[in-house]
Amino acid sequence: MDAEPDLTLTQSKPSSADSWVTRGSKEAFKYKDDPTGSKSDADEAKVRAATRDVRHAKTAQTNAQSAVDSAQSALDAVRLARSAAVAGSIVPMSESMLARGVFGPLGGVVEVGAVNATGTWSVSDVSVGRFLDDRSEDVGRLLGGIRSVCRFSDSGMAVVDELGRLRDHEVPAAFLLLWSAGVTGVPEPLAKLEEPALVRRMCRMAADLQLTLLLQALVTAAVAAGTEAVRGGEQIVEVLTIACALADPSGGSTPSLVFRMWRVAHLPDILRPESDAPDEGKAGFRAYDEILDQLLAVS
């Protein structure tokens, strides 16, 4: 589950949107004036359609650039978490770096959950602010659990405010493409990215990916902080249970499923014999794998 393709795919969207703006503008200009006075009703329809395309394309262009900026931030957070997991105590990771590894995927979980909560999978119906307000108690427990298991200080917890994902904001379909690692590709025309069926599919993939990355970041930070596995495992299960409910209110995401995805997507690179991870780090991840397996009754 490498996040590297995310930024590459997302970066292609501004150029696509740019070309769409250009094509639409040319069409609108072509039909704007008719010195001969022979403009037909069909021509009028083309003028209106071309004008709509220009407006839609410019909106898509803005959203695409925003998605690129967000992609870089999220990609950096994922890289940090993965580096921490593999490097362990060889390259100590700062608290800020570990916090970004946790709160980056959590932002994806919240945005996906806000879209799923609409029941329409129309991005125009999304309200992250209302979604969070309705679940403020759960969000508070989730953040408290993260602080405890990761042993983040106030400055570490402040990263969540810095990233801005727990404040009201728009969720363009381009963000869902990012969170789902661009598996669907960038459709042509770009407006198809907002079709409810595609939005719903991206949400399912994004929930799986971001919840798995969140679990990886939580275990990484817990191991780095020296949080004992039994206590830490219980807290991680609580955080993961809340996060799954946020991501998919219908119950499609479960802690046991996320754990199984995490175990096959991340543990082999850390625990394989030829891994560069130090023995202490490997022991920490094995301990969390064992306790999470027991707590979630996976085996």
Per-residue pLDDT of the chain (299 residues; tens, 9 = 90+): 343 434 444 454 444 444 444 444 454 444 444 444 444 455 555 555 555 555 555 555 555 555 555 555 555 555 555 555 454 434 568 999 999 999 999 999 999 999 999 999 999 999 999 999 999 999 999 999 999 999 999 999 999 999 998 999 999 999 999 999 999 999 999 899 999 999 999 999 999 999 999 999 999 999 999 999 999 999 999 999 999 999 998 999 999 999 999 999 999 999 999 888 889 999 999 999 999 999 998 76
Task: Determine the pLDDT at residue 90.
Answer: 40
**Which residue bears the tokens 């400055």?**
155
Render 7-66 in DSSP notation, one character per residue: HHHHHHHHHHHHHHHHHHHHHHHHHH--TTS---HHHHHHHHHHHHHHHHHHHHHHHHHH
Task: Determine the pLDDT at residue 87.
Answer: 47
Q: What sign for the dihedral angle of Cα 17, 20, 24, 25? A: positive
Q: Report which DSSP code applies to 125.
A: G
List the structure tokens of 272: 């394989």
Burial 43-57 (b: 16+ CB within 10 A, else e): eeebbeebbebbebb
CB atoms within 10 A of CB 40: 9
pTM, entire model: 0.76
Length of the chain: 299
